[in-house]
Structure 1
Amino acid sequence: MARTDTASRVISTPPERVYAALVDPESLAAWLPPDGMSGVFERFDARPGGSYRLVLTYADASTAPGKATADTDIVEARFVDIVPGVRVVQAVDFVHDDPAYAGTMTMTWEVTTVAAGTRVEIRAVDVPAGISAEDHAAGLASSLANLAAFVEH
């Protein structure tokens, strides 16, 4: 059965600033990796039909082994839809031989104006079975906290 995971956070910054951090590779590399990881884009083309390759490296692979190598996860993603200032939709695949991580996950990041600033909502559809719901929830929450810290300064 397909799984959908969601997360959201209100960030006390205007939506334009939050959205800009969703489509800029230097910004994304700074805040997207969850706690305990760092990220480097090998390529990045933010436009519908464009793509990116992100290598995420674990600071301590003994606590969370990587999917692609002992200490890395590699993400291949395509931009499915981009609505400037509003939404970024990506089709995400993990590079891994384990069928538990196979399949394309659709990630939708949406920003909306609220009284306190900006609500950022993430919807991950068709999450691979190999990613535990608990770990994914923690990762999404960590990325949102990192985003808030990044744009609120």
Structure 2
Amino acid sequence: MTGAGNDRVDEATRLVDAAPHDVYRAFVDPDALAAWLPPEGMTGRFEHFDLRPGGSYRMVLAYDDPQADPGKTGDGTDVVDVAIVDLVPGRCVVQQVDFPSDDPAFAGTMTMTWTVEPVGDGTRVTVRATDVPSGISPQDHAVGLASSLAHLDAYVTSRS
């Protein structure tokens, strides 16, 4: 289901002190992705992972404190179903993201485009989300995107 009529766009950018190929590798390696993608206060695990155009993955995100946040899916968890739209090796990952939830505010398909661009000795990473479900507040999304980008930065710089 697509977010018909939803023109909301959320975007975040971070400069990372690592080579673009190292950053891109963190987007396509399941262990790396599970390590850095979950925002602060959450951990993630894959139920399946098939990263190729036409492939998909399902990640279960668990809140560190399920009492404080019951989650979109329930039992202190958020589940994300991700369809891979496109991969441009070394440059870009385009995904369509769905949140299985009984709450209609989280219905619809959000498109997330992650781009990697060389800048000097480092990399500019930008994530652009379109058709963001109304149940995700702009403030919470900004915090979550910034947190994931900070985790990505820490992950790749610790390995380069």
Normalising by structure 2, report the TM-score: 0.94
1:122 Cα offset (Å): 0.2
Partner of 2:111 in structure 1? 106
Could you say what secondary structure the match of 1:152 adopts? helix
Percent identity (aligned)? 60
Partner of 2:130 in structure 1? 125
Alignment match of 1:145 (pick from 125, 147, 150): 150
How many residue pairs get aligned? The number is 153
Partner of 1:94 in structure 2? 99
Q: Is the alpha carbon distance of 1:116 and 1:65 closer, same or farther for their aligned partners in structure 2, counting shifts above 3 Å?
A: farther
CA contact (8 A) 2:44 2:60 kept: yes
**Structure 1: segments with no counterpart, 5+ residues:** none
Alignment match of 1:134 (pick from 130, 135, 139): 139
Partner of 2:39 in structure 1? 34
Normalising by structure 1, report the TM-score: 0.98
The CA deviation string for residues 39-83 of structure 1, in whole angstroms up to 9 with x for no partner, is 000001110000000000000123222011130000001000000
**Structure 2: segments with no counterpart, 5+ residues:** 1-5
Moved over 4 A (4+): none
Partner of 2:28 in structure 1? 23
CA contact (8 A) 2:91 2:115 kept: yes
